[in-house]
């Protein structure tokens, strides 16, 4: 289809409300002749939107409808009725799909039921194949993503024995305590929050079609990191520090967007009267309109403090600060932004710098957060980037958890590593899964064994160091 026909096809799929304006219209064609057409509409406040993606033959590949509709007072459709709506929709767009794809599972999300249709081989789903469909209580399709039907992988003629894998794990396993943030919607826990655990992640999967145990995907082991204590800072009186002054917002800038992002509020600033010289509806210009010359920040709703910010507005000054001078400015900033966290932070020293330090416009510093006994908070990093020519902080990413919560974490495990390993091995079993081979240019899949909890049927991610519970 040509561009005009593709746009008409998109407009025929969804009724676009009058208050939504076309923001994105982009067409891409790859060297192999494949490509897609993308369209997006939104209101001025960016609170409502509709997006559609088509392949070059006009087939729908992605649909997202996010409108502030009044909730119907009538009875909601049952899950079975919603599934029937999903399959009717799938048949309309891909009549052949259900001859290859099978209904696999469903999950209840916010205001919708999501149905997964998978391409099964050995009764196991192929990753990045099939589709999912979100249906609201009235039977409307509000989300659709189609990954297609993939070539059927070759089924192995032999599989390694599970007992062989268990012996291999028993010989190689070692566990380290770590502080992690757990979430009720991701983990089997009663409440969100920090927890001291033994981390199981390094033992992820084995090749299934071999005779000797072989880790098929080795997760990158963290290189041995060197930590440096932060310089001792004299206590200061903070005074009244506004969000704007901490971030560096000037009187010549104004808020152009503000959005609700769960526990945080997102705010975007830009110079007053800013305009793009030339613009179209391409993806490139769409992101320019959204990002160019902006400053974006996330503010905690609970504390009202800045959790992170980044400058997309380029700044050039007359200074030529050294690495050490920039580091001093980074520490000064942290002393102002999160002074209470500093005793729990250490600088991660980079052994090698890829670029010549003298040629860098900005210097970045990454800090780890620990509990005072050398146990790290997983993903508990703080980052600060300082512009060498202005001395200003242009990027800050701070901790997402409350320090008081960290202080309540036990100082050391109540159960030993050996006991945790015993618990793990006692509950360990393996199940088969297809894994996409990302190193291959073709659609290649490997059959692997992944560990799971024989009691719950779920993957084993952590062991609680106090209770010994599997998480």
- The 10s digit of each residue's pLDDT in 255-298 is 999 988 888 999 999 999 998 877 788 888 888 888 999 999 99
Token duo for residue 400: 């997402």
The count of C-alpha atoms lying within 13 angstroms of the C-alpha of 331, restricted to the half-sphere facing its C-beta, is 18
pLDDT surpasses 50 at 156: yes
Q: Check whether 72 has a pLDDT greater than 70.
A: no
* pLDDT tens-digit map of 386-438: 999 999 999 999 998 989 999 988 888 899 999 999 999 999 999 999 998 88
Q: How confident is the model at residue 184 (pLDDT cuts 50, 70, 90)?
A: confident
The whole-number pLDDT of residue 352 equals: 57
- Report which of 251, 254, 295 is spatially closest to residue 273, judged by C-alpha positions: 254
What's the pLDDT tens digit per position in 300-322? 998 899 999 999 999 999 999 99
CB atoms within 10 A of CB 121: 17
Asked if 300 and 264 touch (Cβ cutoff 8 Å), the reply is yes
Inter-CA distances, 290 with 48, 107, 336, Å: 16, 33, 29
Q: Which two tokens stand for residue 120?
A: 């099964």
pLDDT-derived band of residue 71, with 50, 70 and 90 as boundaries? low
Q: Which long-range contacts (CB under 8 A, 24 or more apart) does 129-132 make?
A: 130/101, 130/104, 131/90, 131/97, 131/101
Residues 6+ apart with CB under 8 A from 460: 200, 424, 427, 428, 451, 452, 453, 470, 471
CA distance 453 to 295: 45
Q: What is the DSSP string of 328-362?
A: HHHHHHHHHH-GGGGGGEEEEEPS--SS-GGG-SE
Residues 333-341, mean pLDDT to the nearest whole number:
94
Q: CA-CA distance, 39 to 42, in Å (whole number)?
A: 10
Q: How far apart are CA 378 and CA 123, in angstroms?
A: 35
Rounded to two decimals, what is the model's pTM?
0.83
Which residue in 321, 331, 320, 307 sits closest to 228, CA to CA? Answer: 331
């Amino acid at each position: 289809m040509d561009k005009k026909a593709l746009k008409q096809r998109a407009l025929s799929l969804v009724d676009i409300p009058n208050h939504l304006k076309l923001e994105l219209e982009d067409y891409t064609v790859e060297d192999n002749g494949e490509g897609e057409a993308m369209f997006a509409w939104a209101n001025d406040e960016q609170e409502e939107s509709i997006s559609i993606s088509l392949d070059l033959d006009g087939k729908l590949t992605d649909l997202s409808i996010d409108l502030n509709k009044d909730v119907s007072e009538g009875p909601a459709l049952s899950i079975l009725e919603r599934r029937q709506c999903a399959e009717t929709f799938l048949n309309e767009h891909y009549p052949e799909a259900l001859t290859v794809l099978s209904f696999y599972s469903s999950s209840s999300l916010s205001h919708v039921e999501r149905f997964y249709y998978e391409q099964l081989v050995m009764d196991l789903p192929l990753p990045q194949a099939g589709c999912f469909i979100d249906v609201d209580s009235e039977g409307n399709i509000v989300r659709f993503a189609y990954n297609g039907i993939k070539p059927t992988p070759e089924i192995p003629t032999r599989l390694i024995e599970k007992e062989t894998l268990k012996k291999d794990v028993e010989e190689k396993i070692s566990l380290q305590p770590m502080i992690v943030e757990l979430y009720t919607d991701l983990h089997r826990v009663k409440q969100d929050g920090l927890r001291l655990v033994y981390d199981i992640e390094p033992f992820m999967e084995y090749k299934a079609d071999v005779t000797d145990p072989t880790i098929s995907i080795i997760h990158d082991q963290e290189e041995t990191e060197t930590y440096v204590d932060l310089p001792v800072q004299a206590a200061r009186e903070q005074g009244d520090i506004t969000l704007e002054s901490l971030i560096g917002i000037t009187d010549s800038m104004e808020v152009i967007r503000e959005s609700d992002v769960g526990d945080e509020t997102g705010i975007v600033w830009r110079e007053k009267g800013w305009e793009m010289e030339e613009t179209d509806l391409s993806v490139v210009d769409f992101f320019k309109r959204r990002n160019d010359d902006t400053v974006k920040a996330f503010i905690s709703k609970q504390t009202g403090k800045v959790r992170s910010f980044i400058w997309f507005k380029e700044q050039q000054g007359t200074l030529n600060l050294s690495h050490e001078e920039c580091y001093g400015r980074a520490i000064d900033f942290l002393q102002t932004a999160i002074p209470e966290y500093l005793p729990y932070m250490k600088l991660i020293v980079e052994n090698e710098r890829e670029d010549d330090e003298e040629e860098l416009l900005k210097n970045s510093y990454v800090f780890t957060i620990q509990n005072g006994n050398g146990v790290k908070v997983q993903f508990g990093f703080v980052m600060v980037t300082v512009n060498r020519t202005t001395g200003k902080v242009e990027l800050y990413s701070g901790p997402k958890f409350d320090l008081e919560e960290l202080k309540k974490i036990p100082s050391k495990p109540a159960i030993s590593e050996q006991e945790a390993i015993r618990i793990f091995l006692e509950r360990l079993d393996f199940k088969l899964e297809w894994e996409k081979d990302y190193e291959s240019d073709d659609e290649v899949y490997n059959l692997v064994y992944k560990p799971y909890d024989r009691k719950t049927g779920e993957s084993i991610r952590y062991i609680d160091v106090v209770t010994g519970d599997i998480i």
